[in-house]
Structure 1
């Protein structure tokens, strides 16, 4: 089903228009709500999640459709308004429990953590999504299939629930009175993203916050204890691949080092942060420091502009990829997906201020130029005109020259992992 990919493609300009509005309002209020590298990382992770979804939806929607056909208790008609209304409520309830489990079970946190890694809280954070949530997340929506909600109802209400949550990721909208008591709102969701003790693991609702009030997980934002964002084990990287695997890798290492077989299993199903006593003793980790400096390796203005321009070009390619998903052969689609993921990874390492990032980015540009030069086309577009091919080759070539100049004239950063105050 390509409906979600199509709507996401259409919604992308709206997302970026609202991000631009948020930037403008923040500037008028004298507040810095964005950091370029953080925003690129968040948006890049959103792109990767959509790339993965192109392939995973066939599996997850297929499982849902099979369950509706073979396990449904009732036969619900998509022609009934009450089916759509109750379907949205049912989905939001299932989402609450998936979201809550994502904070209480380590293997589910390993997927969900991506959404919480940013130390900013803005509309780009809303688009920062996991690429591995498909592995287990679908299990939480099977009650809808067993109840008999048709696949088309499930797909549409899932999209409504997802799109609703975009606008609540901002610091520029304050309290909303009665609305905050019923719905997920910017104030409620700011508390959810905070690492402060009083806010930790609260406010899981997607559209409605009444689930949290009902199940005892609601907390109100406190002006005397402003939210501090991120995770208690900070990512400290702009590499989107590492962002997706960091918790899986940490859990795997703890499971490997654990002496007891029971602990090897518990590592995955205990709450995030739990470690076997013998592992914690032999491989201690630093204590959480809420006053830590934010991760923000310094970049020259030239490299910031370069990164933003290259990300904009990659974003155009990603939109094209989502459109091609309707008809491009699987092998070509997989190749394009790999190109986009590796390109975003190279750009992420570059924004960490690493020399290795320059090398990776130059290799990416070489591949980007080689594809049209040797094939005469691009992914999904064969036998392009000579002029278009020339432009497609010239863009990465000029970019490589600009990057080389910036690399030569930018002092090497001694410790790209060292944070500076935000």
Structure 2
């Protein structure tokens, strides 16, 4: 349900993105880079794709707990159930969000949302693909108290959609509103890596939770927010964006000698190391004024990446609409194809040579699949015009890629 509502709300999101972009240009407060926006939106789309396979965590466990352990049977027909459900959900979200910054296991998922060094509405769409694996635990009080599944799903969606508009630098402080609700000013603080702002303002809709529990910080004009993470991702690879912290913590867990530390490290704050590793670790002080990640890219390749990203994004719409009625194997293969598309676009944005080869293979395989069978991933029969369109698009893309590479300086391409 959530995926479909977000899917149909997507045109509104993109209209607002375009509006913010135009406003930023007119004010000469540029906050968009195409490569960064593609990266953020790709991660958001991938999170929706992965959610199709993780519903057991998002919905299944909640429904099971509510059915077997609910203390009360609350009615979805009652207004106070909806209002109290939203308030309780927002309170529980605050604690999930706060622990997401203070626990390696949860930070490994949540870090995705903070990796962008820009702050705009595309950042709001930058979401993790692994968050549902453990995030569900924090919402079990709702199930135990007897809030119906439909109430849980809807209030979760309200809380999520509310947070879209607060990811902007085009709205200044809002007076009394900032003292009660999470606002753009409050949330800019949350995304900042300045010492003054670090790990503050965890609320979803209400900022009063931060005021009550001592995690509130006010945005100060004398200290402009610097966005990103203390360990910059420096990559447009969406798979690496989702896995970087998991890998780093797993390697430290493997290297440490004490068995208790191998488990403890997952529950400790980011940056914590067991004694045997801490003695070997040489940390470099964080430079607040470090240059943002922005590898050079030819104009032709930038437009090519934008075109391929747009086509893959629209293809995802078909996947999300058809996945509920498709078998697991077909859905998994389709999802893999889409993930590969976003991953390759990320590699092309970094000008890595191997991704030119991978993109060429992807295009040839796409055309070959349609020639071999008109059944698109075994899910839908493609009419003749669609078959011709897909094959033609793949061939035109392949030709365009070749022309762009030939006209680009080979020295710009990285080999790794």
Asked if TM exceeds 0.5, the reply is yes
The structural deviation recorded for 1:285 is 4.2
The 8 Å contact of residues 353 and 413 in structure 1, kept in 2 or not, is answered as no
Q: Is the 2:57–2:136 contact (alpha carbons within 8 Å) kept by the matching residues of 1?
A: no
TM-score of the superposition, structure 1-length normalised?
A: 0.95
Q: Find 1:260's aligned residue among 258, 261, 283.
A: 258
Aligned to 2:382: 384
Say how many residue pairs are matched: 415
Instruction: Supply the distance in 2 between the matched residues of 1:413 and 1:147 (Cα, whole angstroms).
Output: 62
Where do 1:2-401 residues align within 5 Å? 3-379=1-377, 382-401=380-399
> Can you list the C-alpha shifts for 1:72-113, whole angstroms capped at 9, x where unaligned?
111100000000000000000010000000001111100000
Identify unmatched segments of 5+ residues in structure 2. none
| 1:354/1:413 contact within 8 Å kept | no
- Would the aligned equivalents of 1:355 and 1:412 in 2 still touch at CA under 8 Å? no
Write the distance in 1 (CA, Å) between the matches of 2:63 and 2:328: 22
Query: Do the aligned partners of 1:44 and 1:240 also contact (CA within 8 Å) in 2?
Result: yes
TM-score where L is the length of structure 2: 0.97
Distance 2:33 2:155 in 1: 33
* Structure 2 CA distance for aligned equivalents of residues 392 and 48 of structure 1: 22
Q: CA deviation at 1:277?
A: 3.4
Does the 8 A contact of 2:235 with 2:241 survive in 1?
yes
Assess if the C-alpha contact under 8 Å between 1:297 and 1:416 holds in 2: no
Distance 1:12 1:83 in 2: 28
| Distance in 1 of aligned mates of 2:221 and 2:411 | 38
RMSD: 1.5
1:414/1:300 CA distance change after superposition, 3 Å: closer
Q: Which moved more, 1:378-387 or 1:190-199?
A: 378-387
The 1:283/1:47 distance shift into structure 2, 3 A limit, reads same
Q: What is the Cα deviation at residue 387 of structure 1?
A: 2.9
CA distance in 1, matches of 2:151, 2:92: 14
Moved more, 42-51 or 257-266: 257-266
> How far apart are the structure 2 equivalents of 1:377 and 1:27?
45
Cα distance in 2 between the residues matched to 1:328 and 1:93: 37
Residue 411 of structure 1 is matched in structure 2 by 409
For structure 1, list consecutive stretches of 5 or more residues without a partner in the other structure: 418-422
Q: Are the structure 2 counterparts of residues 281 and 365 from structure 1 closer, same or farther at C-alpha, using a change threshold of 3 Å?
A: farther
Contact 1:369–1:393 (CA<8 Å) still a contact in 2?
Answer: yes
SS of the residue corresponding to residue 282 of structure 1 reads coil
CA distance in 1, matches of 2:403, 2:375: 29
Q: What displacement does 1:383 show?
A: 3.9
1:292 partner SS = coil
Q: Shift of residue 396 of structure 1?
A: 1.3
CA gap of 1:147–1:383, structure 2 versus 1, over 3 A, is closer
Matched-pair contact (CA < 8 Å) for 1:105–1:268? yes
Q: Distance in 2 between matches of 1:97 and 1:412?
A: 50
Farther off after superposition, 368-377 or 20-29: 368-377
Deviations 1:90-140 (A, max 9, x none): 000010000000001111100000000000001110010001111110000
Distance in 1 between the 2:132 and 2:289 partners? 34
Tell me whether 47-56 or 374-383 shows the greater mean CA deviation: 374-383
How many Å apart are 1:288 and its aligned residue? 1.6
What's the offset of the Cα at 1:240?
0.5
Task: Find the aligned partners of 2:18 and 2:170 in 1 and give their Cα distance.
Answer: 13
SS at match of 1:399: helix
